[in-house]
Chain A
Amino acid sequence: MKCSDFLKELTDYLDNTMDPHTKADLEEHLQWCHNCYVVCNTTKSTIEIYRGSKLYELPDELRTRIHDAIVTKCQCHKNDPEAANSSEQTSSEDKSSK
């Protein structure tokens, strides 16, 4: 197996979505190819770091504000679907013209 073949399979390998035979071939390659071993490990870390990061959390205050707005809009839509649609259109036009 060449390093380029290993790279093509890296996503399936990291996601553990490959047949056992291909997986065994990749692991055999990893045993002697230091570069692929490093790329594999650091790519795995990349995923783990992003997955565990607290990037773009929704603060409680903003969350409450968004909830209130959604519920009010849904209530308007429930009471008068056509009016809610037209007021939504107007407000998005207002915003886009700003």
Chain B
Amino acid sequence: MEAIENKVGEPPSEESILVEAARSGDIGAFESLVRRYDRNVFRIAQHITQNREDAEDVVQDAFLKAYQNLGQFQGQSKFYTWLVRIAVNEALMRLRRRRPERTVSIDEDVKTEEDSIPREIADWSPNPEQQYTQSELKDILGKTIQGLPTSFRTVFVLRDVEGLSTEETASALELSVPAVKSRLLRARLQLRERLNKYFKRRDGDTRP
């Protein structure tokens, strides 16, 4: 088994040491990687599948698949990006199983009615999220993002919620950088448009 390559002159990161140990069969080291990324994988899985039970299964299956295939991880991308790619594929598979009547693909470049032309230009209240309780806000944000096409939702979650770079998102989703940027722009603008009704500045009553 080849050792994971580090960039020339760079000391091995804590993560690459854990990955290397896990590849040699150290389950404790793999458990540390699970602890490091399980929350992120769960969030991504739930955003894609929109189902908690499926998200739970995706986390288990993605980590198990990663463990089984550590030998194939070459270290050219970050372990996390590689793990996200596995998790996204598992999540899409679950979504397809649940909604066989609808095509679910990351490759789809959906043209939606709203697309990227802002229709309502309204300024928002300062700190708009503070108009709502945590639970109301979660409900609003969850419902709003669920309405996006899968490919837009996935790109937005990886790039803007999880903080992957555009290049890492492209690598995790096996998309080109321009394709990621195009979907990201449309996802951001569509979410903005949909959140208008909750957050726009009003005279008097601040709630819709």
Contacts and interface: CB of A to CB of B under 8 A. Distances in A.
B188 A47 contact: yes
Q: Size class of B's contact patch?
A: 35 or more
The majority secondary structure among interface residues of chain B is helix
Interface in B1-43: 25, 27, 30-31, 34-35, 38-39, 42-43
Contacts, number: 129
Interface string B60-72: 1101100110000
Contacts of B124: 41-42, 45
Interface in A1-46: 7-8, 10-12, 14-15, 17, 35, 38-39, 41-43, 45-46
Q: Which of A50, A73, A75, A88 has the most CB of B within 10 A?
A: A50
Contact of B121 (A14, A35, A53, A67): A35
B34 A67 contact: yes
Contacts of A47: 160, 188
Contact of A17 (B129, B166, B191): B166
B27 A75 contact: yes
A34 to B, nearest CB: 8
A63 B47 contact: no
Contact of A12 (B61, B163, B181): B181
Contacts of A58: 38-39, 42-43
A84 B129 CA distance: 47
Contacts of A50: 141, 145, 156, 160-161, 191
Interface in B43-84: 43, 46-47, 55-57, 59-61, 63-64, 67-68
Interface in B153-177: 156, 160-161, 163, 166
Interface string A62-81: 11001101110111011001
A12 B159 CA distance: 13
B186 to A, nearest CB: 9
Contact of A77 (B46, B67, B121): B67
Contacts of A12: 181
Interface of A: 7-8, 10-12, 14-15, 17, 35, 38-39, 41-43, 45-47, 49-58, 62-63, 66-67, 69-71, 73-75, 77-78, 81, 84-85, 88, 92, 95-96
8 contacts: A7-B116, A11-B188, A39-B189, A42-B195, A49-B195, A56-B42, A70-B64, A71-B34
Q: Which 8 A-B pairs have the closest CB atoms?
A: A56-B46, A11-B185, A58-B42, A46-B192, A56-B43, A35-B121, A43-B192, A74-B67
